[in-house]
Amino acid sequence: MNIGFRDKLTGLPKPVRILLWILLALFAYALPLLELPIISTPGVDFGGVLFTVTIYCLVALGLNIVVGYAGLLDLGYVGFYAIGAYTVGILTSFHANWPLLLAIPVAVVAAMISGVILGAPTLRVRGDYLAIVTLGFGEIIRLTAVNLEWLGDARGIKNIAKPPNIGDEKTGLFEIPHLLWGDGTVLVDTEHPTKFLVFGYIDQVPYYWMGLTAVIIVLIADILIKSSRVGRAWEATREDEDAAELMGVPTFKFKLLAFSTGAFVGGLAGALYASRQGFINPLSFLLLYSILFLAAVVVGGQGNRWGVLLGAILVAYLPQRFREFDDFRVLAFGAALVLLATLRPEGLIPPRRTVRAKQLEQELDELEQGTDEGEEAARV
Amino acid sequence: MNFEFFFNNLPELTITGLAFGAIYALIALGYTMVYGVLQLINFAHSEVFMYGTFATLWTVIALNAADANGVKLIAILIVALFASMALSALIALALERVAYRRLIERDAPRLIALISAIGASFVLAELMGLRDRIAGWFGLDDDLSEYVGKARINNSMAGTLEKPRFDVGGVSISSIDIIVIVAAVGMMVLLDQFVRRSRLGKGIRATAQDPETASLMGVNPTRTIQVTFLIGGLMAGVAAFLYMLKIDTTKYDVGFLLGVKAFTAAVLGGIGNLRGALLGGLVLGVAENWGQALFGGEWRDVIAFVLLVLILLVRPTGLLGESLGKARA
C-alpha cells in the first residue's frame, strides 16, 4: 500500500511535488499553534513534547546512517549525544561564557572527532562485538561525567545558554496567536500568543521550530548523501563487505565516515537538547536512551529515512500522549516492541530495496515449487 | 592510586573478585549459548536472572529460613536453589516462545530480534516492578505483602545467613565466596562435559555449526533451541541463587547492569565459547575488583568496559575465540 503511495507521489509533476512538500513543512511548523484535539498532549506542554519529538527525529536520522545505511550496530549512540550536550554546557556556562551559536559547531565537531576516535580502532571488530564495544563507550562517557568534578559530576551543569532572541525580549518581532478548541467551535486565543522569536522558559514553541529546522536541514543532507557515491558505498559495505572491498570500495574508510557522520548528527541533537533544557546531568544520558534510539530506528524501518522518522515520532510521542497510564508506560512500550517485531519484522516502513527483494524472493519461490519455502530467505 | 591498600589486600581482593566473576560467568553462559546457536544477543537474559533472585528470596521468606539453622537451613537453601533454577528456566522458555520463535522461523533480520528481546526485557522487568499493583487487581496485595511489597525498591534477605570468615595464612576469606566459586566452576565443568559428550550437547553443537545440515542429520532445530534456552535459564537460576547468598538484596531492575557485565564477560572470553565465558567472567570479576581498589569504587564499571575495548583491540574475537560449533566464519 505504501509502495502505491510512493509511486503516485513520484508520478506527480515536479512543481506539484515541491508544493506538497512545502505544505507539509508549513503544517509541521504550525502544528503547536493549531493545538489540534486528540493529537495535543493533555497535562504536558505540547510545544515541549514536539521539541522532544524533533530531537528524537534528529537522533534517529543520525543513527539510521550508522545502523540502517552502513549496517553497523551501535548500542552507545547516547554517548555522542552526551558529548554534544556536555560540550555546549561547558563552553556556555561551566568553564567559559561563549554564545550558543559558537558553541554548537564546536560541540558537533567534538562529537564527530569522538566518533573517529572510537571508530578507528573498533570498526575493525566484527558486527556484534561492535555492539558491545559501543555500549561500553556510551557507559564510559556517562560514568566519566558522573565521576569527574570538571564535568559537574552527578549534579550536572546548570544555566546553559539559550539561543539568541530575534527582536525584543518582551514581544519579539511579532506575536502569533494559538487556536483554542471548544465543543465544536474554534477560537483564536490571543491571550497566550507565541512571540516570534523569543527563547524563554515557558513557551516551548520557538525551540520546536529550531528543532524542526535542524531536522529539515539534516533530512535534505541525508537525501543528498544517500543518493551519492558515499551512500552507495555504505549500502555495498552493509550487504557484503568483502565483495565491496573487491569492487574497490575502501570499506573501512566508509564505515568510519558513516560512524562520524552519525556522531555529528547525534552531537547536534545533544547540543540543541542541552540549550533547551538549560540543565543537564548524567541521568539524561542513560544506556536506556541508546536503546530507545535504536528501537526508533529499527521499529520504523532501518534504512528508510521516512520510516525512522515515524519510529522516532512514535517512540518520543506515545509515552507523552498516554501519560495517564504513567506507571504502566514502560510495560506497554515493551509489549509494543515485541508485538511490532513479530508483526512487522522489516519495520513499519521498510526501505524499498527490502520490499523489492522480498517480492522477488516470493516469485522465485513460486517458480521453484516443491522446494522448501523460506529456506533460502535472503537476510536483509 | 592506592597502591598500598591494593598490595596489602591482594589475596582478599582476588577472591572476592573471583566470586563476582563466577556469577558473571554463569550468567554469561546464557548469552554465549544462545549466541552460539542463533547468533542473537539475547538481551532479555538478564531478566531471567532477575526472576531467579526473586524465586530465591520468596522461598527463603516462605519457608521462614530466618528462624532455621543447621540441617533445616541447608534443606531450605537447596529448595531455594531449585526454585530459582525452575523459575529462571520457565521464564527463559517462555521468552523463547513469545519473543523469538516466530522471528526465527521467519528468518527475520537479526536486529529486529534484538528489539523484540529488548521489548521482552522491559515487559519482564516492569511486571516484577509493578507486582504490587498487579496483585492489587486481584485483591491479594495485603495477603501477599511480604512478597509483593516494596516492588520498586531493594528487597533484602540479609541476616538470614551467617557468613563465617576464616583465616588461611593470615588471609581472611569469606566462606560464601568459596561456596560461590566452587559451585559456579563445578556447574561450568558439568555443562562443558554435557555439551561435549551427551547427545543433546552434540545436537547443540551441530546446530551451532550448520543449522541446515544438522536438521538434515535428524537434529530437531526447534527442540535444540529450546534446550539451549533451558540450559541458559538453569544456569542463570544457579547464578541468581549464588548472587543472593553473596549480596542478599535484589530489585526489579537488578538484572540490567549484571546482564551487561555478563555479556561483556561472554564477549571478553569469545562469544559462543563456553570455556571462554568462564575465563571472561573470572577475568572481568578480578579486574573490576582490583581496579576498584586502585582507582576507587566509582570507576568500577568504567574499568570493565575499558578492559573489554582493550582486549578486543588485541584479540578481536575474545580471549579464547568463538567456538561453540568450532570454526565459524
Tens digit of pLDDT for each residue in B48-61? Answer: 999 999 999 999 98
**Are A296 and A380 contained in the same domain?**
no
Kindly state whether residues A92 and A236 are assigned to the same domain: yes
A256-312 tens-digit pLDDT = 999 999 999 999 999 999 988 888 888 888 888 888 888 888 888 888 888 899 989
A309 within domain boundaries: yes
Residue A377 vs residue B26, higher pLDDT: B26
Number of other CB atoms surrounding residue B144 within 10 Å: 15
Cβ A125–B308 below 8 Å, yes or no?
no
Give the Cα separation of A258 and A119 in Å (integer). Answer: 10
pLDDT digits (tens, 9 = 90+) for B222-232: 899 999 999 99
Residues A293 and A374 in one domain: no
C-alpha radius of gyration, chain B, whole number: 20
Percentages helix, strand, coil for chain A, rounded to the nearest 5? 70, 5, 25
pLDDT > 90? residue B305:
no
Amino acid present at B245:
L
Mutation site, B122, B212, B292, interface A, largest A CB count within 10 A: B122
Residues of B in Cβ contact (< 8 Å) with A340: 115, 119
Given a cut of 50, whether residue B329 has pLDDT beyond it is no
Contacts of B98 in chain A (CB under 8 A): 338
Contacts of A131 in chain B (CB under 8 A): 41
Do both A128 and A94 map to the same domain?
Answer: yes
Query: Is it the case that residue B170 has pLDDT exceeding 80?
Result: no
All structural domains of chain B with their residue ranges: 3-149+173-314
**pLDDT (mean) for B110-136:** 87
Cell of A208: 520546536
Picking from B41, B102, B109, the nearest residue to A342 by CB comes out as B102
d(CA A232, CA A190): 51
Q: What is the pLDDT of residue B328?
A: 38
| Mean pLDDT confidence for B83-106 | 92
B26-30, B94-98, B317-321: range with lowest mean pLDDT: B317-321
Contacts of B267 (CB under 8 A, 6+ apart): A128, A129, A132, B280, B308, B312, B318
The predicted-structure confidence for A64-119, as pLDDT tens digits, reads as follows: 999 888 888 888 899 999 999 999 999 988 888 888 888 999 999 999 999 998 88
pLDDT computed for residue A183 by the predictor: 67
Using CB atoms, which residue from A133, A336, A337 is nearest to B308?
A: A133
Question: Does the distance separating the beta carbons of A136 and B309 come in below 8 Å?
Answer: yes
- What is the predicted pLDDT for the residue at B169? 74
Q: What is the pLDDT of residue A126?
A: 66
Residue B103 with chain A: CB contacts under 8 Å: 341-342, 345
End-to-end CA distance of chain A: 21
Q: Is residue A206 one of the residues assigned to a domain?
A: yes
My answer on whether A320 and A363 are in the same domain is no
Cβ-contact A99, A199 below 8 angstroms: no
- Rounded CA-CA distance A271/A91 in Å is 11
pLDDT of residue A370: 55
The pLDDT-based confidence of B106 (bands split at 50, 70, 90) is confident
Tell me the residue range of the domain where A87 lies: 35-164+199-349
CB pairs under 8 A between A and B: 139
Residues A250 and A268 in one domain: yes
pTM for this predicted structure: 0.82
Question: Taking CA atoms, what residue in A is nearest to B211?
Answer: A375
In CATH terms, the fold of domain B3-149+173-314 is ABC transporter involved in vitamin B12 uptake, BtuC (1.10.3470)
Q: Which residue has the higher pLDDT, B146 or A375?
A: B146
Predicted pLDDT of residue A332: 80
The answer to which of A154-163, A193-202, A215-224, B89-98 has the lowest mean pLDDT is A193-202
Chain A positions touching B312 (Cβ under 8 A) are: 122, 125, 129, 133
Does residue B167 carry a pLDDT above 60? Answer: yes
Three-state SS for B203?
helix
Domain tally, chain A: 2
Mean of the per-residue pLDDT values of chain B: 86
Record: contact B126-A330, CB cut-off 8 A: yes
Query: Do A272 and A360 fall into the same domain?
Result: no
Which 3 state secondary structure label does DSSP give A170?
A: coil
Residues A251 and A367 in one domain: no
In this prediction, residue B26 carries a pLDDT of 92
Q: What is residue B156's three-state secondary structure?
A: strand
| B310 pLDDT more than 90 | no
Query: Please, are residues B282 and B21 in contact by the beta-carbon 8 Å criterion?
Result: yes
What residues in A contact B114, CB-CB < 8 Å?
Answer: 73, 294, 298
DSSP structure string for B243-293: HHHHH-EE-TTHHHHHHHHHHHHHHHH-TT-HHHHHHHHHHHHHHHHHHHH
- pLDDT at residue A379 greater than cutoff 60: no
* Contacts B105 to A, Cβ<8 Å: 374
- Do A220 and A369 sit in the same domain of this protein? no
Contacts 24+ apart (CB under 8 A), B219-224: B222/B101, B224/B37, B224/B200
Q: Which of residues 112-131 of A touch B (CB under 8 A)?
A: 121-122, 124-126, 128-129, 131
Say whether B115 and A342 touch across the interface (CB within 8 A): no
**pLDDT at residue A210 greater than cutoff 70:** yes
What span, in angstroms and rounded, lies between the C-alpha atoms of B283 and B277? 10
Say if residue A37's pLDDT is above 80.
no
Asked if B115 and A298 come within 8 Å (Cβ–Cβ), the reply is yes
Residues B187-210 have a mean pLDDT of: 89
In this predicted structure, what is the pLDDT of residue B54?
A: 93
- As a whole number, mean pLDDT of residues A33-42 equals 73
Task: Give the pLDDT of residue B93.
Answer: 95
Query: Which of A173, A172, A169, A177 has its CA nearest to residue A34?
Result: A177
A136 touches chain B (CB under 8 A): yes
Residues A283 and A368 in one domain: no
The Cα-based distances of B184 to A255, B83, B314 in angstroms read 41, 17, 28
Contact A147 B106 (CB under 8 A): no
Helix, strand or coil, per DSSP, at residue B155 = strand
Supply the Cα-derived Rg of chain A in whole angstroms: 22
Which residue type does B265 have?
A
Question: Mean of the pLDDT values across residues B276-282?
Answer: 92
Burial class from Cβ neighbours inside 10 Å (0-12, 13-18, 19+) for residue A296 reads buried
Give CA separation, B256 vs B44, B149, B262, in Å: 9, 21, 10
Whether residue A173 is contained in a domain is answered as no
Q: Could you tell me the three cell numbers for B47?
A: 531478566
